[in-house]
Amino acid sequence: MDSPLVVVLVEPTGPINVGSVARLCANFAVSELRLVAPRCDPHAEDAVKMAVHGKNLLTQASIHPSLLDAVQDCRRTIATCGRLDHGEIPLHSPEVGLTWLNTPPLDRTLSQSPIAVVFGREDRGLTNDELRLCQRVVTLYSDPTYPSLNLSHAVAVILHELKRLQATDHNKGHVAEVVADPAPAADMQGFLEDAQDLLLEIGFLLEHTVSARMAKLQNLLQRASARREEVALLRGMIRQVRWAIRTHRT
């Protein structure tokens, strides 16, 4: 059985866009709409009018204070990016990213854990820190002179492509490769915070370079698709090193 699909909008400002996305969620059988710190009233008249048959998804949309909170229960998360200044974060084509998103988990007990697609602000998209909370980042095919799409248009393209890939696999009788899920965003964030504290304490990191160097470490772990148990191992090592250092000092 397919995992529930969640659409996450980060700080949407336009009620018409929110309503349009709710309608698209109904069109493509999305299980849930989640809003991160919306900067508009998602239940405004314009939003409700645009939602049409997606009104239930709109009225039941959950509100979250942060992206991390919104995706903490998701086993796989993909972000969308239309910016050119994304640093060293690798960008994938929709075919590659969405095929990965839809592959079954190695641990079948996770098959009903949701998968998520995250969309950024209408005016500036997602920050690099927010992109790194997601295990994959996809970019749409558009002219590089103006790569940013309207929010609801981007949602339509992604959901259509995801549905097309699912239908193609079904019609051709393809069996999706089973792969292990990467560590959830909350687990990864907890490890990075512990690692940063220790590396600052021992002088490996300096305050003025800490953000850039920790971003490189996070990029490395994302590229490696580090699993939950692997991140837990690294976190345990960090905590044991900190304990040993402080015990030796005393």
Helix intervals (H) in 60-145: 67-71, 94-102, 128-132
In a domain, 162, yes or no: yes
The pLDDT profile of the chain, 250 residues, written as one tens digit per residue, is: 478 999 999 999 999 999 999 999 999 999 999 999 999 999 999 999 999 999 999 999 999 999 999 999 999 999 998 776 777 888 899 999 999 998 887 777 667 889 999 999 998 899 999 999 999 999 988 777 776 789 999 999 999 999 999 887 655 555 556 678 889 888 999 999 999 999 999 999 999 999 999 999 998 988 888 888 999 999 999 999 989 988 877 6
In a domain, 179, yes or no: no
How many whole angstroms separate alpha carbon 127 and alpha carbon 129?
5
Whether residue 37 contacts residue 147, with contact meaning beta carbons closer than 8 Å, is answered with no
Q: Which domain holds residue 74?
A: 5-172
Q: Residue 197 to residues 83, 190, 209, 210, 248: CA-CA distances in angstroms?
A: 31, 11, 13, 10, 18
Those residues whose C-beta lies under 8 Å from the C-beta of residue 245, and which sit 6 or more positions away, are: 201, 202
Residue finishing a domain among 126, 148, 172? 172
How many whole angstroms separate alpha carbon 205 and alpha carbon 75?
31
Hunting for tokens 């090193």 — which residue is that? 241
- Overall number of domains in the chain: 2
Mark whether 165 and 190 lie in a shared domain: no
pLDDT attached to residue 1: 44
Mark whether 161 and 194 lie in a shared domain: no
- What DSSP line would sit under 33-54, residue for residue? EEEES-SS-TTSHHHHHHHGGG
Mark whether 238 and 201 lie in a shared domain: yes
In a domain, 75, yes or no: yes
Our CA angle for 113, 129, 77, nearest 5°, is: 20
Hunting for tokens 């079948």 — which residue is that? 108
Mark whether 214 and 93 lie in a shared domain: no
Maximum distance among all Cα pairs of the chain, rounded to whole angstroms? 66
Mark whether 158 and 46 lie in a shared domain: yes
* Amino acid of residue 148: S
Query: Whose CA is closest to 134, among 77, 59, 52?
Result: 77
What are the backbone angles phi and psi of residue 61, rounded to the nearest 5°? -60, 135
Mark whether 61 and 14 lie in a shared domain: yes
In a domain, 178, yes or no: no
Those residues whose C-beta lies under 8 Å from the C-beta of residue 55, and which sit 6 or more positions away, are: 22, 48
Report the first-to-last Cα separation within the chain, whole angstroms: 55
Mark whether 47 and 25 lie in a shared domain: yes
Mark whether 128 and 225 lie in a shared domain: no
* Amino acid of residue 135: Q
